[in-house]
Amino acid sequence: MDLLNVNDLRVEFKTDHGWNEVVKGISFNIKEGETVGLVGESGSGKSVTSMAIMGLIPSPPGRITNGEILLEGRNLLDMPKSGYSDIRGNKVSMIFQEPMTSLNPVFTVGDQVREAILLHQNVGKKEATEKTIALFDEVGIPKPSERYHYYPHELSGGQKQRVMIAMAIACEPRLLICDEPTTALDVTIQKQVLELLLDIQQKRKMGMLFITHDLGVIGDIADDVLVMFRGDLVESGTKEDIFHRAQHPYTKGLLACRPKLEKNPKRLYTVSDFLENKVEEDKTKEIEYKEPDKSEKPALLKVEGLKKYFPIKGGIFSKTVDHFKAVDDVSFEIKKGKVFGLVGESGCGKTTLGRSVLRLIDPTAGKIIMNGQDIGAMNPKDLRAFRQNAQIIFQDPYSSLNPRMTIGNILIEPLEIHGLGGTRKDRLEKAANYLEKVGLAGDHLIRYPHEFSGGQRQRICIARALMLEPELIICDESVSALDVSVQAQVLNLLLDLKDEFDLSYLFISHDLSVVKYISDEVAVMRGGKIVEYNYADEIYKNPQQEYTRNLLDAIPKGL
């Protein structure tokens, strides 16, 4: 029996240039107890589809111009807006991508879940509290009666997402919509959340619409798969059909652009390769794979016994009572022209380590030596010269770029700070050249950050890092916020630039498949320490630590 029927749904939004149709007549069904995966890149229309089902399309500027959304045979689009209050949270619930922005910071998590129960169910406060604690226990939150009184900031990312799941299932909905619920999570937490969602769904016989841009995740959780591209539903079928017999070039591109653990191709395919028919269909043609580069090269950077401790204050006088050891006695080296991967879960200390290397924060102890010079012993003038030679690319490109500056001014700012590059005209010519190096047009210099997509903004950040012609670039989760197809483009670009300019990278990520693809050597961090350190292929073929094996096992495999 069909739980949900979406028939010829069309949604459009008003812009400065008229009405823009973002969902173009799509149709699909979800049965009771079935999980349907909806996959596509940012801007494909998948989240707008979920918002339409929930009655959350903002009007203005959005409107549903055609179609039916039938929940158990009842057309939700025929209901008055007030009727949705009985549907949302009760019959249909939704889990959003970022739990921190979905939870109210001034109320305890228990009170927020209890409020949903009191709103939709005829129970008293005591019974609602007991049910909330039981839900926390069901979704695997430790010490549920204690965590009931915690505020959102006191919980980890994975625990906050479990609170959101508890809130979504509190009123036993018939349909659960999950909009990118694991995108911001580490692979191990992601695996736990996926297993939890499947377990709850099977117990409660819910239908589930699972939205993501990652087909690997879809392979682990979905029964049937829908593929959206620019507002159209371009392909649908069982997950076996999609993974093994994909027909549309867009679907083939999504499947091909994700780095594989088994072998590293010399270049990752991108979606545009398939859409533009650049990929030859000759199955006899052998893909060229990279051989691991184990050649010995001189060290560019040496880190010896690095420590970074943060004081923990306590008592009425806020005295230091202990220290949090974010980085605890770490040593490694990065060779010239090579990529050193640093991988681990959130909180392991990898970002603190990267910032300590650049002296953006001062280490507690240890040595950082680059080209034979001790960074820790440098005076301000020498440290300024060092920072010219070592640059960083941050995770979120939008917050890394000043929204009030043009791209041209953003790119030439480092040259102005260091007094390099000649006249303003010379600097702008260099900026245009580097924009072209990263695949953008030189005439984009007069535009502002908000006029670019996420992938284009990250390319601008890469161009800015290149402006001072450094030897070392630290990439701090620089592709984790991108769609998998854009991620493939940026990874290819980083490797091309490495070869062209003989760059070395410290590549920081929680994604092991990405780290394996780009890195020559890999270190695995846990609790501020490096627990495993080897050539990339050796770590993946023969991991020595159980922690590393668990990280590898948690990677979504698809089919």
Q: Three-state SS for 514?
A: helix
Kindly give the residue spans of alpha helices, DSSP state H, lying in 122-156. Answer: 125-138, 144-147
Q: What share of the chain is helix, strand, coil (3-state, %, to 5)?
A: 40, 25, 35
DSSP line for 22-53: EEEEEEEEEETT-EEEEE--TTSSHHHHHHHH
State what percent of residues in the chain have pLDDT above 90.
57
Exposure string over 38-47, b if 16+ CB within 10 A, otherwise e:
bbbbebbbbb
d(CA 516, CA 518): 6
More confident residue, 308 or 282: 308
Q: Give tens-digit pLDDT for 402-411.
A: 999 999 999 9
d(CA 162, CA 279): 41
Task: Tell me the mean pLDDT in the region 202-214.
Answer: 90
- Report pLDDT for 284: 43
- Report pLDDT for 363: 93
Q: Answer whether residue 557 shows pLDDT above 80.
A: no
- Report pLDDT for 342: 96
Q: Are 29 and 5 in contact (CB under 8 A)?
A: yes
pTM over 0.75: yes
Strand 472-476 relative to strand 390-393: parallel, antiparallel, unpaired? parallel
- Report pLDDT for 296: 84
- Report pLDDT for 282: 46
- Report pLDDT for 281: 52
Q: Are 397 and 458 in contact (CB under 8 A)?
A: yes
Task: Tell me the mean pLDDT in the region 197-217.
Answer: 90
- Report pLDDT for 280: 60
Two structure tokens written together for 151:
């505020």
- Report pLDDT for 99: 75
Q: Give tens-digit pLDDT for 130-185.
A: 999 999 999 989 899 999 999 998 887 788 889 999 999 988 899 999 998 887 67
* Banded model confidence at residue 413, pLDDT cuts 50, 70, 90: very high
- Report pLDDT for 310: 92
Angle, CA of 323, 329 and 332, to the nearest 5°: 145
Q: Give tens-digit pLDDT for 32-60.
A: 999 999 999 888 999 999 999 999 898 88
Q: Answer whether residue 509 shows pLDDT above 60.
A: yes
d(CA 19, CA 10): 12
Two structure tokens written together for 44:
């494909």
Q: Give tens-digit pLDDT for 348-370.
A: 899 999 999 999 999 999 999 99
**CA gyration radius for the chain?**
25
Q: Are 270 and 258 in contact (CB under 8 A)?
A: no
Q: Answer whether residue 240 shows pLDDT above 70.
A: yes
Q: Are 345 and 548 in contact (CB under 8 A)?
A: no
More confident residue, 454 or 222: 222
- Report pLDDT for 26: 97
Q: Answer whether residue 283 shows pLDDT above 70.
A: no
Amino acid at the residue 405? M
